[in-house]
Structures are given as structure tokens and as C-alpha cells.
């Protein structure tokens, strides 16, 4: 595999609306991001990915862009953005933006012009398709519920929207659209952006026959994914996109890719792949219910471990995945992957250890580093997310009570990750002096940066230590390029693997006991040094805990050992 500049980097996702508000309007802003760069640097972050900051009506929180060349005024100005780039550069950090080009906002000039003249040039920027027998062209359901087709007023046509009706899909078959997208991407890269996280990208290739399929729900519709799966040839679009833009700048790109055809793995993220990397969503996908959140499956330890191990192994000799435990579309990892007995600082540090030292690019999501958790709400009106509101309805229609439907939201809602960053135990968690756009999680008095900053054994300080270890000169190559080798696979509730550098022979064991009972393992190789212990027990750190080649990990204990 070819080595690339981003291979050894650690990334952090900022959800700008909820990160840090400096002007008291209750919405995070770019000044807030700038003010926290030193905090991120100290944490060990190299790459900062900003969820969309473009001009937007915010129907889907900025994933509906009405002008790709403007910064949303809620977030600040282009001058502030330039300042952010410059400040990041001073600190050897890289800024990555969100690239949302499967769709735009219905308020985008292109769509407005298309509506004005549904037979004109701009209509062809979108999928304006004639209905069948007075109905939509197909029975595809959008990701946020309801038909994926919306009538074009005054015509017998419908336009396609895989997400909300305010997010019309752009027609990638139209070469002019593609050129305009490339121009825009290059305009941002020319500014000094390091790359992009690429939104919903698998959706850009449609099956132009727009077939209907067997309905999968009482609404007579079928998941739009079916149509995407039947489309062929996305690779041509993705290659062109790469060659016309990213490649020229040696940019870093991370794809949001669901439903990829397995045999296309190397084409997507191999040496000459369409993207630098893509997120490993396999653990998230494990929870997918057949019909929605109301039949979502809880995480079961063995399946969770197996699926991560499978992802790791399939990437060997191919490339890197981007490893996450949460993001702005998922509940908090500490609430989802840790069982009740482990939902504490020990457990959070243990989860951090197993995730950050995997092979691939670690992506932290804001608040993960202090162990933020899911947020309880009393009523559906307290949620803002469009997806949550839809899923709540779906649950009610399936016969769940309001209380049960609310529980589904507590477990799955995207708003769990979107509550304001908890900076302190002051008003509104120190996020804003105004009224936050989304209420803070009530646990901010206990979980916040200020409290953890100076407490030696805090989750935050552990993340700092963990990332520093990953980057330490002596171990960097092993953690970056070393092979991933599963260890002690039959040991109940143990998540253990080795990172092995074939060239130097260096071997590092990562072992974490997710169970309730202690777990003893035999170390075949001699222990050179215990590099990290989440409980910081004296006998563990000194290596005295290793007796007769055996080591016992108590519940929620993790260790990193140089063998």
C-alpha cells in the first residue's frame, strides 16, 4: 500500500450548530470553532471535519444547501472562515468540510429556476419525471418517510428527493451539473481546505428506469435503497469527481458510504480508490430494524465485536477505514455500546481504547472525549430532528404507545448527539449565553470539559493520553500501519487484538474486559511494558500485575501492552 499524508492523522467532527456559541444567539458559530482550536490541538487532533456551514434553510440542519459559495449567516462570515483556515494552519491542523452534492435545498437558485420553467434547462439539473397513471413514477420511500417523489406544481411531473422534499436530488447524469459541482469543490480547495467528508454519496447513481418494488410497509412504499441498489456504474461518476477535483490537490476525502457493493471495496478505498477512506458503519448497521427505530436491535457484544473484526480484516492490504463510535446521525457510543454496568468513566475509557487503536483513521465526535451520553426528553416536541419526528410517527403507527415511541427516540435519535457541547457546569453548559437552539443534556453539571480539564483521571485526560500514545514516535508505525490480529477470540466478553508491525516485529496487545466478571488471560510473549491502563492501577502500570505470564482484567478494565 502507498503511504499518504493523512494515514497517521486523528480526526474530530464538529457539529457547528451545537459546538460553541460566541454571540449569544443560541447557535454555535465559526468564532466558537476558532476559539477551541487550542483545545482540539491539546487533545491531539489533526483533522477537523465541520458538518455543513453553507447557507441553508436548515430543514435538515444544513444538509440542505441553498448556496454552496456562502457561509450560513448563523455561523458567521467568509472572512471568519478564512481566519479559521489560517488559524488551523498555524497549528498544523487541517480543515475538512462536508460535501453535500447528492441533493441541494429547494431554495437553491437552480431548483427555483427549475420550478419556474419545468421544461427548461434547470429542470434537467434535477430528476423531473412524468408520473405513471396519475401517481408518482415509482413507489420509492424517502429516507425521512413518505414518497421520494413530490409533484412539480402545474405539471404531470414529479421530482425525486431521497431525503426530505426540501432536498431535491441533483441529476448527476447531466454533465453541466457535474461540471458546476467540480468548479465549486475546486473553489473551496483553492482556499486551502484539506478535503471533504462526502455526504450520502452512494445515492448519486439512480436506476433511471425508476422501478417499483414489492412494498415493505403498510404505506405501500418500499425503501428508496432498493432503487439505489439496482443502479449500476456509480464508479464512473466517482472517478470523474476525484480526477477533476480531489486528486489535483492531494485532498483527504472520507466517504459516507452505505449499501456499497462488497466487491467494490478496493475501487472505493484502495490505493487508487475513489476516496481516501470511508466510515466503518458496520456496528451502526447492526442496530438497523427492519421497519425503523421501533424494531431496532440492541447491540449484542459478540456480534458487535465480530463485525468490527470483520471490517478490520477485510481492509488488510486494501486501505483504511475511518473508525467511529458515534456521529451526528447516531446516538452516543457510550450509551449504545456499553452495557449498564459499564456506563461509567471506566467503561468510556475502555471503549475509547478499543476504538482509537484500531487500524484506520480515528474520528472522534464532539463531546465523545468527555463521555457525553444520550439525552432523555419528556415529549416529542422537545426533539428537532426531522428523522426523529418521522420515526416517532412510524412507531406510533406500528402500534407503540407514546411512551414506547419516545423510548425509541431516546435510544436512537440523532438529536442525542446534537445537544450542545458541555463546556462547563455554568448556564447552558457554557455553550451559549442565550437560549440554545436545542436544549442541553441535563447531565452537564456532572459531565463537562471544565470539570474534566484538571481532574487527572477524567475521560478527557484519558483520551489525551490515548491519542498521544497512538502518535508516539516509537509506536506510531505499528498503530498506523501495523496489521490487525484478533486475540483471545473465544474469551467471553473480551475485546482483544494485536497490532503487529511486520517490518520491525513490534507487537502491541489491546485487551478490554467488557464483561461483569474478571477475566484472566495468558500472555505467550513476555511483557516489555504496559503502555496504558484505563484504571491506572499501580501494579498494572508497573507490570507487577503480570504473574506467571498471566494477567487478570477486572470488569471494565483495559490495557495496552507492548509485548
Which residues are part of the catalytic machinery?
199, 256
Q: What is the largest CA-CA distance in the chain?
A: 81
CB of 525 to ligand NOJ, least distance (A): 42
Cell numbers at 68, concatenated:
454552496
- 402-412 and 386-397 helices, crossing angle to 10°: 140
Q: Which residue is closest to ligand NOJ by CB?
A: 63
- CA torsion 473→476→477→480, rounded to 10°? -160
* Radius of gyration, alpha carbons of the chain: 24
Question: Which residues contact ligand NOJ (rule: CB under 6 A)?
Answer: 60, 63, 100, 163, 199-200, 256, 328-329
Give the Cα separation of 5 and 509 in Å (integer): 26
Nearer to ligand NOJ (CB atom), residue 178 or residue 414: 414
Give the Cα separation of 473 and 206 in Å (integer): 46
Nearer to ligand NOJ (CB atom), residue 367 or residue 430: 367
Nearer to ligand NOJ (CB atom), residue 99 or residue 560: 99
Whole-number Cα distances in Å, 201 to 234, 241, 266, 324: 9, 11, 16, 18
Nearer to ligand NOJ (CB atom), residue 387 or residue 448: 387
CB of 41 to ligand NOJ, least distance (A): 26
Question: What is the DSSP track for 28-86?
Answer: --HHHHHHTHHHHHHHT--EEEEPP-EE---TTTTSS-SEEEEE-TTT--HHHHHHHHH
Q: Exposed e or buried b for every residue in 504-536, given b needs 16+ CB within 10 A?
A: eebbbbbbbbbbeeebebebeeebeebbbbbbe
Nearer to ligand NOJ (CB atom), residue 169 or residue 557: 169
CB of 88 to ligand NOJ, least distance (A): 22
Query: In 3-state terms, what secondary structure has residue 176?
Result: helix
Cell numbers at 175, concatenated:
454533465
Give the Cα separation of 299 and 78 in Å (integer): 43
Other CB atoms within 10 Å distance of the CB of residue 452: 21
Give the Cα separation of 297 and 300 in Å (integer): 9
**DSSP H/E element including 468:** helix 459-471
Nearer to ligand NOJ (CB atom), residue 198 or residue 447: 198
CB 295 within 8 A of CB 333: no
CA distance between the termini of the chain:
26
User: Is the four-CA dihedral 468, 471, 474, 476 of positive or negative sign?
Assistant: positive
Nearer to ligand NOJ (CB atom), residue 332 or residue 349: 332
Query: In 3-state terms, what secondary structure has residue 467?
Result: helix
CB of 146 to ligand NOJ, least distance (A): 15
Q: Is 263 left (phi over 0), alpha (psi -120 to 50) or beta?
A: alpha
Nearer to ligand NOJ (CB atom), residue 354 or residue 387: 387
CB of 448 to ligand NOJ, least distance (A): 25
Amino acid at each position: 500500500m502507498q503511504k499518504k499524508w493523512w494515514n497517521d492523522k486523528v480526526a474530530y467532527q464538529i457539529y457547528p450548530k451545537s459546538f460553541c456559541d460566541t454571540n449569544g444567539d443560541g447557535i454555535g458559530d465559526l468564532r466558537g470553532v476558532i476559539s477551541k482550536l487550542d483545545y482540539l490541538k491539546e487533545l491531539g487532533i489533526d483533522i477537523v471535519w465541520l458538518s455543513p456551514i453553507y447557507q441553508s434553510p436548515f430543514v435538515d440542519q444544513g444538509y440542505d444547501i441553498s448556496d454552496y459559495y456562502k457561509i450560513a449567516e448563523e455561523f458567521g462570515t467568509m472572512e471568519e472562515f478564512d481566519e479559521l483556515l489560517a488559524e488551523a494552519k498555524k497549528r498544523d491542523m487541517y480543515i475538512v468540510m462536508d460535501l453535500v452534492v447528492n441533493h441541494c435545498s429547494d431554495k437553491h437558485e437552480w431548483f427555483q429556476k427549475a420550478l419556474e420553467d419545468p421544461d427548461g434547462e434547470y429542470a434537467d439539473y434535477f430528476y423531473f419525471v412524468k408520473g405513471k397513471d396519475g401517481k408518482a413514477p415509482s413507489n420509492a420511500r424517502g429516507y425521512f418517510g413518505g414518497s421520494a417523489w413530490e409533484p412539480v406544481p402545474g405539471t404531470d411531473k414529479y421530482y425525486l428527493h431521497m431525503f426530505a422534499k426540501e432536498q431535491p436530488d441533483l441529476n448527476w447524469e447531466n454533465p453541466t451539473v457535474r461540471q458546476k459541482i467540480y468548479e465549486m469543490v475546486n473553489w473551496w480547495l483553492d482556499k486551502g481546505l484539506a478535503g471533504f467528508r462526502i455526504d450520502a454519496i452512494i445515492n448519486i447513481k439512480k436506476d433511471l428506469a425508476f422501478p417499483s418494488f414489492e412494498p415493505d410497509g403498510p404505506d405501500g412504499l418500499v425503501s428508496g435503497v432498493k432503487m439505489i441498489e439496482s443502479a449500476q456504474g456509480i464508479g464512473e461518476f466517482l472517478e470523474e469527481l476525484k480526477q477533476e477535483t480531489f486528486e489535483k490537490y492531494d485532498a483527504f476525502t472520507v466517504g459516507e458510504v452505505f449499501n456499497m457493493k462488497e466487491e467494490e471495496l478496493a475501487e472505493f478505498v484502495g490505493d487508487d480508490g475513489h476516496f481516501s477512506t470511508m466510515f466503518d458503519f458496520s456496528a451502526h448497521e447492526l442496530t438497523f430494524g427492519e421497519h425503523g427505530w421501533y424494531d431496532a436491535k440492541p447491540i449484542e457484544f459478540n456480534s458487535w465485536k465480530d463485525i468490527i473484526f470483520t471490517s478490520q480484516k477485510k481492509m488488510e492490504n486494501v486501505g483504511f477505514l475511518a473508525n467511529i463510535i458515534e456521529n451526528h446521525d447516531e446516538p452516543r457510543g457510550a450509551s449504545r455500546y456499553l452495557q449498564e454496568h459499564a456506563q461509567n468513566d471506566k467503561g468510556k475509557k475502555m471503549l475509547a481504547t478499543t476504538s482509537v487503536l484500531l487500524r484506520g483513521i480515528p474520528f472522534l465526535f464532539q463531546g465523545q472525549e468527555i463521555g457525553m451520553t444520550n439525552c432523555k426528553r419528556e415529549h416529542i416536541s422537545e426533539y428537532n430532528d426531522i428523522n426523529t419526528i418521522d420515526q416517532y410517527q412510524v412507531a406510533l403507527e406500528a402500534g407503540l404507545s407514546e411512551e414506547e415511541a419516545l423510548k425509541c427516540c431516546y435510544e436512537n435519535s440523532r438529536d442525542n448527539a446534537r445537544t450542545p457541547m458541555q463546556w462547563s457546569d455554568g448556564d447552558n453548559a457554557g455553550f451559549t449565553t442565550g437560549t440554545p437552539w436545542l436544549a442541553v443534556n441535563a447531565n452537564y453539571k456532572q459531565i463537562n470539559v471544565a470539570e474534566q480539564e484538571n481532574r487527572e483521571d477524567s475521560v478527557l485526560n484519558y483520551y489525551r493520553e490515548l491519542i498521544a500514545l497512538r502518535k508516539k514516535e516509537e509506536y506510531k508505525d505499528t498503530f498506523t500501519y501495523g496489521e490487525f490480529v484478533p486475540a483471545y477470540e473465544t474469551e467471553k466478553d473480551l475485546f482483544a487484538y494485536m497490532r503487529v508491525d511486520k517490518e520491525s516485529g513490534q507487537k502491541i496487545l489491546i485487551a478490554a474486559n467488557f464483561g461483569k466478571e474478571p477475566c484472566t488471560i495468558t500472555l505467550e510473549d513476555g511483557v516489555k511494558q504496559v503502555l496504558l491502563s484505563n484504571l491506572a492501577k499501580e501494579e498494572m502500570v508497573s507490570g507487577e500485575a503480570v504473574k506467571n505470564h498471566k494477567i487478570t482484567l477486572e470488569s471494565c478494565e483495559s490495557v495496552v501492552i507492548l509485548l
